[in-house]
Structure 1
């Protein structure tokens, strides 16, 4: 779990009302809708294109100590404490690329306590994407709420990663609630958001909900008919052009 999650009751009320759930309820996982539309995460690289020796050594040491809490603590004190900002961020990204997500989350907690740290949508978005792919819904939800608690307003990507995670485990009602909350907040769904929604809703046999999202394309996209034709071309087995 992430640190610094002490939400005040007033702030939780403002966050939860649009979604219709509370944190005690945010522990779900079921089965089987795919939404792998995003490209693989790219590791941050230094300007010379190579991770520094210090960053590589830190990643290797973390992996070796992963199953031993006392050794892991030593690695944080002896290795990570000495890393420069860029090297620490590189190590964080490399752990994600290698799918060591629990270690990446611990490094992120460490980063959040650094003097130079400022809340960053992209750091949260990368983790939400990776945990969503693993169907770890509670992790994605916690990251979404922590993002808000750190003073960031959820952006299009944060909402999209949460929606995609719900669809990944067939939590269609939650995905739709989040989608409606996204629109109500003034955050604009982009083509990726709409594609994920349409593709997965139709794959789940929910043509009624897919039609709602398709109609939204008129409001949110400059060329909705062109967009829907392209989506139908890319996913011809399930999608139909049905723009009112």
Structure 2
């Protein structure tokens, strides 16, 4: 499946959740969320943060040719095809850093066709985070479906990116449904997942949902009181430490 702009249109927001084939979670949630998403979490190979000359030239050429399909095709043939694996991955990351998401997605399509490519959760997670920050939910869900089609099982980070994207656009029911799906799949919510949800729900004054998440802190964390104190210290607005 080509992941160009035309393929990012799906019938409804339910499609990606259906890919995981988890039963619908009962109940509805409605509120307004104000907190944003976190910064990217790099889980791929270590990097010194310095791009090679070849990677820099490839990024610059892609940006210059972005609005001309024929020139863009030439850049892929003349520049991208000659990059080593690490340089290609660096170019992909740099386009995301500069918020050129359409180009990053095209480079990701190119990467997936390389002989050395193996499905990688972290590459999908990076893109889901970037599209989520731009509130492009259909694109986030489409990436989830592609991840599953490649034989990957969503891990805690992937679920967290999806939850964060839903919270970014006030889709509370979707966020809670995804959270329940995460737990049902056997993935354990980590401190980042719980922090994002507590921050957003407290900011919106949705105390019942805060109570649910705090209750889960007791189940999933070794030191829930310490964790909640730290969250309250960093994000003091209306945060309370009651373990329900």
TM-score range, shorter chain: 0.7 to 0.9
Q: State the Cα distance separating 1:118 from its structure 2 match.
A: 0.1
- For residues 111-126 of structure 1, the aligned pairs below 5 Å read 111-126=111-126
The 1:19/1:90 distance shift into structure 2, 3 A limit, reads farther
Partner residue, 2:35: 34
Change (3 A) 1:146 1:43: closer
Equivalenced residue count is 229
Is residue 154 of structure 1 aligned with residue 159 of structure 2? no
Q: What are the ranges of 5 or more consecutive residues in structure 2 without an aligned counterpart?
A: 9-15, 26-31
Unaligned runs of 5+ in 1: 6-10, 21-30
> Aligned-pair distance for 1:37?
3.1
Within 5 Å, give how 1:1-244 maps onto structure 2. 2=3, 15-18=20-23, 33-38=34-39, 50-244=50-244
Contact 1:33 1:203 in 2 (8 A): yes
Residue pair 2:3, 2:109 contacting (<8 A) in 1 also: yes
Distance 1:242 1:46, change over 3 A: closer
Alpha-carbon distance in structure 1 between the residues aligned to 2:43 and 2:99: 12
TM-score (norm 1): 0.86
1:25 is matched with none
Q: TM-score, normalised by structure 2?
A: 0.86
Work out the CA distance in 1 between the residues paired with 2:42 and 2:131.
Answer: 12
Q: Distance in 2 between matches of 1:39 and 1:120?
A: 16
Structure 1 residues 149, 39: closer, same or farther in 2, change over 3 A? closer
Tell which deviates more after alignment, 131-140 or 230-239: 230-239
Distance 1:84 1:40 in 2: 23
Change in CA separation of 1:211 and 1:12 when aligned onto 2, cut-off 3 Å? closer
3-state SS of 2:111 partner: helix
Contact 1:52 1:87 in 2 (8 A): yes
Deviation, 1:50, is 2.6
Q: Which runs of 4 or more aligned residues in structure 1 lie more than 2 Å from their structure 2 counterparts after TM superposition? A: 11-14, 16-20, 35-47
